[in-house]
Structure 1
Amino acid sequence: MPDVTALLVDQERNPPQDLLTALAHADVAVEIRTPDEAVAAAVGGPAPAAEVLLAPAAMQPRAVRAVSRRMSESGRTPIVVVYADQDFTTIEQHIRLGHDYIVPPFLPPLVRARLRSCYERAKLSRTMEEVAAQAELLSYERELKIGREIQEGFLPEGLPTLDGWDLDVRFSPARNVAGDFYDVFEMVNRRRLALVVADVCDKGVGAALFMALIRSLLRHTAEHSGLQNLMTTHQPTVSSDHSPVIPVVGATPLMNAVVGTNGYLTRNHSGQGYFATMFFSVLDPATGSLVYINGGHNPPLLVAAEGGDPQPLEPTGPAVGVIPDCAFSLGHAQVRPGDTLFVYTDGVPEARNAEGEFFGDERVLQLLREPAPSGRALLERVESALREHSGAAEQHDDITMMAVHRTVTPG
């Protein structure tokens, strides 16, 4: 048996002398403490570190377990072995808990053989536990990989190519799966382009499941809505300068998609507590007219061709999935040649560096005050600034960015 250390807990500090002698012959270094001393040993110092915990069988099992747990906090779970030299009936309750035991005569060869058996059995048990834990971890990683692949299937395989327009996206989950999502798809007989960026509260697997649900509801409803006029129960359409705007083609599918998704979530999933902020817009590529609903999302920024302070597209309603039967207004904006629409989730301003400092909204605005020659160029500018700010710090939130640039018409 290899040299080992043992912590012997005895309230009287008076274990059988023949047991101590046998342990010494078995090359076991023994430290004797009372149970209270063993539990309190970490006050001002480390927990007792020993391979074997020896205790009299007369000691209450819960007291033995308390010492064992305290020792485990040092990173090593001890082998628990109880001994009895008189009342052997007390051993039974320890055996039920999986503790090993030794009984007289405490002859060196017998103690050595018994402890070797306990040591090898515990070693095998730990190896099996480690194998099981590793198998569980691999299974979990496989499940996450499958989840990631499924989630990627809900994102567009590519972005449409439109004359006069340059679209680009960046999508960076904080974990294997994300609560953020984006979508770009044609609708209204390919006359309009739907642009969606959304952020489901929380992150991880739960948020990813709701991401898939919300994305499917939005797209399915928008693609299958008719071209009828807006219902009178909807809030009026307003432009970015708050003036009335004549309803445009694509507004009805947009409104139906957001209102329908909000109704479904509040009716069927309010108990889960998940909701999503989102910016859902419908673009007329021919004119640059943009009608949108901003459901509690951080305002996208419209960057003018000549630069200057970007124009925010403020919320027109609450987050989706929070308030039943709530009203959403339609906003309107105009993307002129040379303009770029920048849509992003809060993972951008809330990106942190190693000191915990946020990237911040002002940095985002500063980056967008200069015009961009393309959507890709704008995203690369922001992406580079985020990398410089965050450094090697862990990413705390999903980051999604979309840039929609209208190219300058050749003169």
Structure 2
Amino acid sequence: MSSEPPFEPPFEPEFEPEFEPEFDSMKDLLLDMAQERNWDSLRRLIERRLLERPKVAMVRLWRLKPGDDCERCALRDECPQHVDCLQLESSAETSSLESECAKVPEFCEDLYRRVPLGRRMVGRAGESQQLQKLINMQNDARCEDSRNWAREKNVKGMLAFPLVFKDRLLGVFAIFLEIEPEADGLSEGQVWGRILADHLAAAIANAEAFQKIESLSRFVSDNPNPVFRANQDGALIYANSAAQALFDNWQGECNDLPSGFCEPLSKALKSGRQVELESRNRGRIYSFDMTPIQEEGYVNVYGKDITEAKLAEEKLRIITAEKESMESELRLASRVQNDFLPQHPPSSPNYRFAARMTSAKFIGGDFYDFIRLGTRLGIVIGDVAGKGASAALTMAKLLSDLRYVSGSEDPSDALNAVNKVMLERSSHGVFATLIFLYLNLETGAMRISSAGHLPLLLKRAGQGNIEEFPAREVPVGVLPDTVYTVQETELRPGDMAFLFTDGAIEIQNPAGKQFGMSRLSELMHGSVADPESFLDLVSLRLKEYSRGGVARDDQTLLAFQRLAN
């Protein structure tokens, strides 16, 4: 006959009779805390129940959060990082049993609303994650304001407990007492305080988790985009308000859904892969991502109104096409421009010629040419108003006209003829600035006519001064009755002439200041060996001045020099 072990009742901890109410009260509080899912309710529960206890004057709770008011914080000079700090979220005292966080006393507002980690007792409790005690706050507090405040509130001691959950500091919980806590060891109340702090940290973490879960649960129902669940036949299992509103105004033949949905729904379930559908309704365009849940036999569908995105795509397509058309036009303009410019400067035993053009991002109407006229050489440089293919084509016509009418005694005759032709041929206000000159290769005599162009600069050999030959008349293509005149001079041995377009003086530095005529003239004052070297110098200085900026106009430079005997 087997003998059964004697019955043993479950273990019941024994307390001194005076502590049994304390234990029951704390046990009830911990159980109530575990059931709270809302942070505000949890905070009010802690405040109310603790302030009912004898000798508790005030309860405060700080949460660890990113710094949000560092500039105005009273303890900013004590904050080493200005990143995270302990921020007061709850403050209640026995006088009201209600939260005082919205009307914290001025002292708290100024000094302890934000507390850096490691600073003051609250910050040290957070950084060390250990209990901190202040035995006699009325005499031992760090600052006079704190001591006066403690006397006013009848606060003697303070216990600051760190709130730690899974090695993560959540905040600091402080109890202000009307008695002095024991300095050595842990009293019964301090042990309960630590237990309460541990449970409070877990309750805060649970409240945060429930808040996230609740937020996620509202994500679908509150989503402004249509979200729904359907089977492969188009029967709706769930639809949020946005989806219901959409389908109410959308006629279809796929069970509860519009036509066109059944086939992709079936495809998604059979393949087990996500399927995308784009559909239109009442002038709007929608995109639907269908994610199959094969084991359950339904598809989760996430919709989005993409009308504005589609309109933006169409605008981008048009802009891209226009850009490609413009680039094609610019390439055409560049080809036209290059085809009509001299491939090489002329050669002469008594002269040196150099010319170059740096094309801008937006092709302009710059041009230059050398025209052989027996013992004379016609030299032209100019700029047609406008940019792109139109300016390049006008430039080509103008060069052709100049070659046709050149050969008379004076270059002014050529300008008069060209001006008449341009006015007869164009009704769109096309005009051009230019200098046209004849250089006698035997004598060095120059006859210069200018139509509103920048001046010709002439440096005399052995002299520091620069002579200018400015324009006297308006550009060609502007006024029908303009009579162009001639300026005469002689290019002596060693002299050098320099012609240029406005792109050389209007190029800007990063501050927006133009290079200007004065800087260009200064470059001619220096020692210049030959036209090619001089143009190299000018190009280099222009590039340095703009510091890599994008030129918005062509830069055309032309120089020639009579060699010394």
Which residue of structure 1 aligns with residue 346 of structure 2?
A: 160
Map 1:368-387; keep pairs closer than 5 Å: 368-387=524-543
Contact 1:340 1:372 in 2 (8 A): no
**Deviation by residue 1:298-338 (Cα, 9 ceiling, x = unmatched):** 11101111131210012132111111121111111110000
Alignment of 1:317-328 (within 5 A): 317-328=473-484
The residue type equivalent to 1:364 in the other structure is L
Q: What is the CA distance between 1:220 and its match in structure 2? A: 1.8
Q: Distance in 1 between matches of 2:496 and 2:343?
A: 22
Moved more, 193-202 or 140-149: 140-149
2:393 is the alignment partner of 1:393: no
Which letter maps to 2:464?
Answer: G
Equivalent residue, structure 2, for 1:288: 444
Quick check: 1:22–1:112 contact (8 Å CA) kept in 2? no
Structure 1 residue 18: deviation in Å? 9.7
Kindly indicate whether the alpha-carbon contact (under 8 Å) linking 1:316 and 1:331 is maintained by their aligned counterparts in 2.
no
The answer on 1:357 being equivalent to 2:513 is: yes
Structure 1 residue 127 displacement after superposition: 8.6
Task: Look up the equivalent residue of 1:208 and give its one-letter code.
Answer: A
Per-residue CA deviations over 1:43-99 (Å, capped at 9, x if unaligned) read xxxxxxxxxxx998xxxxxxxxxxxxxxxxxxxxxxxx995354558x9xx746453
Amino acid at match of 2:369: D
In the alignment, is residue 265 of structure 1 matched against residue 422 of structure 2? yes
Larger CA deviation: 378-387 vs 274-283: 378-387
What fraction of aligned residue pairs are identical, expressed as a percent?
A: 28
How has the CA–CA distance of structure 1 residues 140 and 321 changed in structure 2, closer, same or farther, with 3 Å as cutoff? closer
Partner of 1:313: 469
Q: Deviations over 1:157-181 (max 9, x none)?
A: 2111011100001201213532111
One of 23, 26, 36 as aligned partner of 2:227:
23
Report the residue type matching 1:147 in the other structure. Answer: A
Partner Cα separation in structure 2 for residue 382 and residue 389 of structure 1: 11
TM-score norm. by structure 2 comes to: 0.48
Match of residue 201 from structure 1 = 385
Q: Residue 59 of structure 1 aligns with which residue?
A: none
The alpha-carbon distance between structure 1 residues 17 and 140, as it changes in their structure 2 partners (threshold 3 A), is same
- Report the alpha carbon displacement of residue 109 of structure 1 after superposing the two structures with TM: 9.1
Q: Which runs of 5+ in 1 are unaligned?
A: 1-15, 27-53, 57-80, 103-107, 228-249
Please report how far the alpha carbon of residue 296 of structure 1 lies from its aligned counterpart in structure 2 after TM superposition.
0.9
Q: Deviations over 1:96-152 (max 9, x none)?
A: 6453499xxxxx999845839x88x99999999978876775565344323312221
Q: Which residue is 1:84 aligned to? A: 246
Deviation at 1:358?
A: 1.0
Q: 1:23 to 1:281 in 2, by over 3 A?
A: same
Aligned partner of residue 160 in structure 1, secondary structure: coil
CA distance in structure 1 between the aligned counterparts of 2:511 and 2:521, rounded to whole angstroms: 22
* Higher RCO (CA 8 Å, separation ≥ 6 residues): 1
Offset from partner CA, 1:359-393 (integer Å, 9 cap, x none): 11111111112342211122122222212211112
TM-score (norm 1): 0.64
Paired position in structure 1 for 2:360 = 174
Say whether the 8 Å CA contact 2:352–2:562 is kept in structure 1: yes
Query: What secondary structure, in the 3-state scheme, does the structure 2 residue paired with 1:207 have?
Result: helix
- 1:212 aligned to 2:396? yes
- Code of the residue aligned with 2:379 in structure 1: it is L
Q: Distance in 1 between matches of 2:297 and 2:311?
A: 24
Partners of 1:375 and 1:153 lie apart in 2 by: 24
Matching residue's letter, 1:311: E
Q: Secondary structure at the match of 1:348?
A: helix
Give the number of the structure whose residues are more often strand, by fraction. Answer: 2
- Give secondary structure in 2 for the equivalent of 1:367: helix
Amino acid at match of 1:202: G
CA distance 1:261–1:407, shift in 2 (3 Å): same
> Partner amino acid for 2:491?
V
Other structure's SS at 1:381 match: helix
Corresponding residue pairs, total: 306
Asked whether the 8 Å contact 2:226–2:246 carries over to 1, the reply is: no
| Partner residue in 2 for 1:186 | 372
- The Cα RMSD (Å) is 4.0
Match of 1:346 in 2: 502
Q: Is the 8 A contact 1:309 1:365 kept in 2?
A: no
Change (3 A) 1:396 1:191: same
Verify the 8 A CA contact 1:22 1:111 in the aligned structure 2.
Answer: no
Query: Secondary structure of 1:356's partner?
Result: coil
Report the Cα offset of residue 201 of structure 1: 2.0
Residues 219-230 of structure 1 correspond to what in structure 2 (within 5 A)? 219-222=403-406, 225=407
Distance 1:82 1:407, change over 3 A: farther
**169-178 vs 302-311, which deviates more?**
169-178
Q: Distance in 2 between matches of 1:196 and 1:55?
A: 76
Deviation at 1:355, TM superposition (A): 1.1
User: What is the identity, as a one-letter code, of the residue corresponding to 1:179?
Assistant: G
Compared CA separation, residues 20 and 158, structure 1 to 2 (3 A): closer
Specify the code of the residue in structure 2 equivalent to 1:255.
Answer: S
Q: Structure 2: any 5+ residue segments left out of the alignment? A: 1-219, 231-239, 252-257, 259-279, 289-295
| 2:19 aligned partner | none
- The answer to whether 1:148 aligns with 2:305 is no
Structure with max Cα Rg: 2
Change (3 A) 1:367 1:55: farther
Alignment CA distance shift 1:200-1:96 (3 Å): farther
Aligned AA (2:542): L
